Amino acid sequence: MQAYTIWDYSVEVDRIATADWYKQSEGWSCTCGHCQNFLTLVRQKQLPTAVMELLSALGVLPEKPTYVCQLYPTDQGDLYQFNYRIAGRMLNDPHPHDSIRFDWGSGCCGHDDYPYGAPDFPEPHFDLMFSVQLPWVLNESPQ
């Protein structure tokens, strides 16, 4: 495992195990309009640059989130929560139950109890959790 600092979280990451899992994963399979909108935005590389760069550094394929949820509509589109699981461990938790705010949204490291997108992920692991306002780009309305 390699030591990383993600924001102000100290973590150890097994980049090879993370990358290997994402390569074999089928990815997020929800077909609802909001999830399909999110996946379209990822394919169009419309997630914040800071998110894309962090995922790339950790061996994560952005088009394969382990959790996606549209929380509510906003003036700019919709607020989404989306997660990516990482093989490794958190060494500290400087913000229990709080996300760190950035100009692009917010993020934190933690443990998501919802394993829908990663039930077979290697242990130990933690989750990168993001909340970002994203536009609606699909032609049809959400279902």
- With CA atoms as reference, report the closest residue to 56 among 22, 24, 27, 30: 22
Amino acid residing at 5:
T
- With CA atoms as reference, report the closest residue to 111 among 90, 80, 82: 90
The pLDDT of residue 100? 94
Claim: this prediction has a pTM higher than 0.85: yes
3-state helix, strand, coil in the chain (%, to 5): 20, 35, 45
The pLDDT of residue 143? 59
Return d(Cα 102, Cα 6) in angstroms, integer: 13
DSSP secondary structure letter of residue 125:
E
The pLDDT of residue 97? 80
From first to last of the 143 residues of the chain, give the pLDDT tens digit: 999 999 999 999 999 999 999 999 999 999 999 999 999 999 999 999 999 999 999 999 999 999 999 999 998 899 999 999 999 999 999 988 889 999 999 999 999 877 677 888 999 999 999 999 999 999 877 65
Return d(Cα 66, Cα 121) in angstroms, integer: 10
Query: Contact 71/79 with Cβ under 8 angstroms?
Result: yes
